[in-house]
Structure 1
Amino acid sequence: MPDVPEVQGVLPADRVVETARSIAATQESSGAIPWFAGGHVDPWDHVESAMALSVAGLISEAEHAYDWSRRTQRQDGSWPLQVREGRVEDDAADTNFCAYLAVGVWHHLLITGDDGFAERMWPSVQRAVNFVLGVQRERGEIDWVLDQYGRTGGAALLSGCSSIHHSLRCALAVANHLGEPQPDWEVALGRLGHRLRHHPEAFTLKDRYSMDWYYPVLGGALRGVPGKRRLFDRWADFVVDGLGVRCVNDHPWVTGAETCELVLSLDAVGERIPAVELFTAMQHLRDPDGSYWTGLVYADGKRWPEERTTWTGAAVILAADALSRTTPGNGIFRADDLPTGLADADCGCLETADLSTDTLEHP
């Protein structure tokens, strides 16, 4: 088994493997990875769980999951929003959910070096990205969801578009690796990145949610001083010392996945000390079997919901890999070598993003 991540003094490698095995134990015979045994599958969290399996060396289980994605993709390149035990419960399509396959495929390729896997998955990645870009607006933002009739809801989400930004960069990396240039994707990525950096008015306001706070950093649209400033400016709104990150800023509820995604965001802008502190703080959600509870209502000390979700454990494993620099995929969210797309020459505003790496003092 290849090296497994370990965060010194916080999470040893054998516990990372326990967490990965708790995810694998939930995997269905089809390859699908539901939220928990008997729960539903969504295409984004399924891929995140597959990524965690790759990190922990459970390569065949991860590839079984990716094969499920390949086999269940619809003709238009999308996946249903929600499936339970092979039955579609919601046949709408979330653009962010569909785009995320590209992140998983690039991540697995980095870890395994398996060109055959990349070639096998490439048609699915290509169809998924083309589906997503089919609803990109002229200025760059991308609508959130399409119903069963292909109608959009008219909302573009900051968090979802930030994640799509990351997915497009990974998709271009896969394309370049396989010698399949996609110039239209580069233009689309440039426009989306510009919109995320300079036009917050383009997105439906959901600033109560921590994901809207840190996702422009996690998705790679903001780096350096702008990224650090975004994280530190609202630190007090979301971070609960010793416990983790609030999912919503006006609820006394910390969640493990959001905490680990903030860890990844901090790591991406070089802020290791607060990243490790937060990673340490959220370990109170660990169960003895290696799985992780979704969250804690700290006002009354109750875990809620009463679910140990695969994607929470997956976020822990991905954060551990980033912090420990263990696998060849550990930098997937730092994204240092990923394509950045073409600058948006059609927007009349001035591109002034500061991508310097000066250190700002966190709260």
Structure 2
Amino acid sequence: MNVPRGPGRTEHLVLPGVLTAEQAARTVAGITGIQRPDGSIPWFTGGHLDPWDHVEAAMALDAAGEHRRAAAAYHWLAREQNPDGSWYAAYTDGVPTDRDRETNFVAYVAAGVWHHYLSTGDETFLETLWPTVYAAVEFVLELQLPGGEIGWKRAQDGSWPREALLTGSSSVHHALRCALAIAEEREDPQPDWELATGRLRHAITGHPERFLDKSRYSMDWYYPILGTALRGEAARQRIDEGWDRFVVPDLGVRCVLPNPWVTGGESAELALALWAMGESDRAVEILRSIQHLRADDGLYWTGYVFADQAVWPQERTAWTAGALLLAVSALGGDEATTAVFGGERLPTGLLEPAGDPCC
């Protein structure tokens, strides 16, 4: 099918030093130019798609008022969903190219569907996508470990390592809260999901030993905040502890230590996490620092190796642009984006005992 272009809006995506209205419109057009006629959004034209980044780009389209295009992206997921509720880790031209099923990739549809509903108020859409969200959440929770953390993938042969990733579990935590919000809106309680969400938050905030050690990666640093598990003083301490290790002044955020490589996606996501914890000034500082990654077509290069003064890899991805637009949208006060990423209005699941550093 051909996806019609909707009446986009970019006035709330203006942020001095980051985006003008014209630049925002070019960035949105860059994402829509990558979207395929069937609604799917690969990393770049001719590239592969993964379900998580597909959803991130779709949320950016909603933030820009491209609601019909965003809806087409979610309907693509509904059509491609596996019978067990999952999606494969990668698709190229609609054909699966990696048949592992990663739990954070699968769960994230809930965040996108809730964001689209808040952006549009489209109750028919919410009812239509509810079976998709329900099946995805049920698949993910089958891989919850006894400590509350989420096993990170199910392999093609059905096996799954009893291992969890902090970044992935933090993203799943956020998605579960959005799924609970959908269930609440539909007056369809899901007590098992509430229990699972509480157990997961308890693992994220209090038991780092339950996750594989990926502390070299900046995502493990900020994702407990972006995933809405950490707020308040615990979040501030975590950011301050890692700031000098991961943030390169005037260039952005390192993807992984000790590599001299800053990336636009991680930088924009950190900015969104900073906004969520009330650090808007630092969020704007980070977004301004990655303007060197902006290309003439409005998209953003994935990363920059500052030791070599070289852009690498040679790709401009829809999800990098999407992450930046979502961060700017939150800073601009877009109601749907602030509700989804702020977390204050999302159900918390089963509350943990007093003293746990949660929301």
Could you say whether these structures have the same fold, taking a TM-score greater than 0.5 normalized by the shorter chain as the test?
A: yes
The residue matched to 1:89 in structure 2 has which SS? strand
Q: Deviations over 1:172-228 (max 9, x none)?
A: 001111111101000000000001010000000000000000000110111000011
Does 1:268 pair with 2:276?
yes
CA–CA separation in structure 2 for the residues paired with 1:88 and 1:9: 40
Do 1:255 and 1:295's aligned partners in 2 also have CA atoms closer than 8 Å? yes
Task: Indicate the percent of aligned positions where both proteins have the same amino acid.
Answer: 50
Amino acid at match of 1:100: Y
Alignment-derived partner of residue 123 in structure 1:
131
Per the alignment, residue 29 of structure 2 pairs with: 21
Aligned partners of 1:34, 1:156: CA distance in 2, in Å?
26
| One-letter amino acid of the counterpart of residue 140, structure 1 | G
CA contact (8 A) 1:325 1:331 kept: no
Aligned CA-pair RMSD:
1.3
Equivalent residue letter for 1:248: V
Indicate yes or no: 2:200 matched with 1:199.
no
Q: Which residue of 2 aligns with 1:55?
A: 63
Correspondence list, 1:212-227, <5 A: 212-227=220-235
Corresponding position of 1:189: 197
Contact 1:55 1:327 in 2 (8 A): no
- Equivalent residue for 2:288? 280
Cα drift, residue 344 of structure 1: 4.4
CA distance in 2 between counterparts of 1:52 and 1:326 reads 11
Task: State the distance in 2 between where 1:277 and 1:25 align.
Answer: 29
Is it true that 1:330 corresponds to 2:338 in the alignment?
yes
Deviation of the 1:89 alpha carbon = 0.7
> In structure 2, do the counterparts of structure 1 residues 271 and 4 end up closer, same or farther at CA, with 3 Å as the change threshold?
closer
CA shift, 1:289, in A, is 0.8
Distance in 2 between the 1:278 and 1:284 partners? 12
Counterpart position of 1:352: 356
Measured against aligned partners, the alpha-carbon deviations of 1:48-107 in whole angstroms (never above 9, x if no partner) come to: 010011111111111111110010000100001111001111111000000000000011
Q: Pick one of 253, 263, 267 that aligns with 2:261.
A: 253
Q: What SS does structure 2 have at the residue aligned with 1:296?
A: strand
- For residue 284 of structure 2, give the secondary structure of its aligned residue in structure 1: helix
Task: Write out aligned runs for 1:1-363 (5 A).
Answer: 1=7, 2=9, 3-344=11-352, 351-353=355-357
Deviation of 1:335 after TM superposition, in Å, equals 1.1
Unaligned runs of 5+ in 1: 356-363
Q: Alpha carbons of 1:327 and 1:353: their partners in 2 closer, same or farther (altered >3 Å)?
A: closer
Where 2:96 maps in the other structure, the secondary structure is strand
CA contact (8 A) 1:110 1:328 kept: yes
User: Quick one: structure 1 residues 299 and 168, their matched pair in 2 at CA, closer, same or farther if it must change by over 3 Å?
Assistant: same
Q: Which amino acid aligns with 1:201?
A: E
Residues 339 and 346 of structure 2 are in contact (CA less than 8 Å); yes or no, is this contact kept in structure 1? no
Shift of 1:8: 2.8
Q: Hey, what's the Cα distance between the residues in 2 that align with 1:189 and 1:128?
A: 15
Please report how far the alpha carbon of residue 9 of structure 1 lies from its aligned counterpart in structure 2 after TM superposition: 3.8
Q: C-alpha separation between the residues in 1 aligned to 2:21 and 2:137?
A: 35
- In the TM superposition, residue 12 of structure 1 has moved relative to its aligned partner by 1.6
Superposed displacement of residue 354, structure 1:
6.9
Aligned length: 351
- Aligned to 2:87, the other structure's residue is in SS state coil
SS at match of 1:173: helix
Deviation of 1:253 (Å):
0.3
Q: How far apart are the structure 2 equivalents of 1:326 and 1:88?
A: 35
1:13: Cα distance to partner? 2.5
Amino acid at match of 1:205: D
Would you say the 8 A contact 2:145–2:162 is kept in 1?
A: no
How far is the alpha carbon of 1:14 from its aligned partner?
2.5
Do the aligned partners of residues 111 and 354 (structure 1) sit closer, same or farther apart at CA in structure 2, a change above 3 Å counting? closer
Runs of 5+ unmatched residues, structure 2: 1-6
